[in-house]
Each structure stands twice: as structure tokens, then as C-alpha cells.
């Protein structure tokens, strides 16, 4: 948080100490940003407001098709932690990059694409462990890497119309 201070000469200056953003703030910003973007595209959106562990948005397409969205948000470039979920016919993911400064970016994926990304990351993690002489599966959370997500940037067309 920036604060005003006086130096030894009595002049004012600002301490530009950067505030660290709490992860839940990025998540809330992401959910509202995704809901807003969907509304602009003609979708009807209801937010679960954290009352459902699996989904964040319940959506109806412009043609009346209901579906669900799990939003994953972050404010700095990193991977998105995502757990595998029981297969649902109409579950989609929107990975939302909501930086403090700059434009929001949205990566829209099907549940199948997210599962593929998680399996790919797990295989890479196992290979890295073997290269280090370690056995067994990695302890890290399953995730979707930034480079994989980039292929799905702005892919709103995968959602039901």
C-alpha cells in the first residue's frame, strides 16, 4: 500500500511499496469479469457466490442452452491450479487473468481440454522426478500451464450458443 512520508529535508514523497493481492480478491474479480463478458455476449448468468464447490457460474446461452462454468482467476502470470472433477456434460472452465494494470484475458476451455492439460502436466512432473532419480507421483497440485491455456485465449466459441 502506498503511503506518504517526509524525507530528512521535509519533502513529501510516496512509498511505492506494492501491496500483495490476496488470491481470493483475484478470484472474485475474475468471476465478475467473466460474468460481465458473458452478459455482453448475450448469455444469462447467475453467480453461485461461493456456495457451490464445483461451479462458479450457472449460465444460459442466447439459444436457451444451460451450462456451468468453473472460473479460475489470477492477477499475475502463473499456472492455474485445477482439480480433476467428475465428468459433467456441460461444464466449462474460464481461466481469467485479471492483472492490477492492463486488460483482462480469458482462456475458455472444455472440461475435456482441462483434463488433457492436467494429465499432460502430471506426465511432465513424473518425467522431471525420474530425471532427478525420484520415484512415485509428484505431490504438487494438478494445474493448467500458461502455455497450454494460451491456445484457448478468447475461445468463447466453445461455449453453447
Reported as a pLDDT band with limits 50, 70 and 90, residue 42 is very high
> Of residues 108 and 3, which shows the higher confidence score?
108
pLDDT bin (cut points 50, 70, 90) of residue 21 is low
pLDDT digits (tens, 9 = 90+) for 56-112: 999 999 999 999 999 999 999 998 888 888 877 799 999 999 998 999 999 999 999
Q: What mean pLDDT value characterizes the chain?
A: 85
Domains, the chain: 18-158 (3.40.1350)
| Phi and psi at residue 46, to the nearest 5° | -125, 135
Residue 121: per-residue pLDDT: 83
Amino acid at each position: 500500500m502506498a503511503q506518504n512520508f517526509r524525507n530528512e529535508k521535509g519533502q513529501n514523497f510516496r512509498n511505492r511499496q506494492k501491496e500483495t493481492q490476496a488470491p481470493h480478491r483475484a478470484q472474485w474479480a475474475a468471476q465478475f469479469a467473466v460474468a460481465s463478458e458473458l452478459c455482453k455476449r448475450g448469455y444469462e448468468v447467475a453467480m453461485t457466490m461461493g456456495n457451490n464447490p464445483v461451479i462458479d457460474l450457472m449460465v444460459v446461452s442466447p439459444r436457451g442452452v444451460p451450462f456451468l462454468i468453473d472460473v479460475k482467476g489470477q492477477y499475475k502470470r502463473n499456472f492455474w491450479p485445477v482439480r480433476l472433477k467428475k465428468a459433467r456434460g456441460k461444464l466449462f472452465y474460464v481461466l481469467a487473468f485479471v492483472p492490477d494494470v492492463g486488460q483482462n484475458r480469458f482462456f475458455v476451455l472444455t472440461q475435456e481440454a482441462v483434463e488433457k492439460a492436467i494429465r499432460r502436466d502430471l506426465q511432465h512432473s513424473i518425467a522431471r522426478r525420474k530425471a532427478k532419480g525420484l520415484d512415485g507421483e509428484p505431490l504438487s497440485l494438478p494445474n493448467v500451464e500458461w502455455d497450454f491455456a494460451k491456445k484457448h485465449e478468447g475461445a468463447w466459441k466453445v461455449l453453447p450458443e
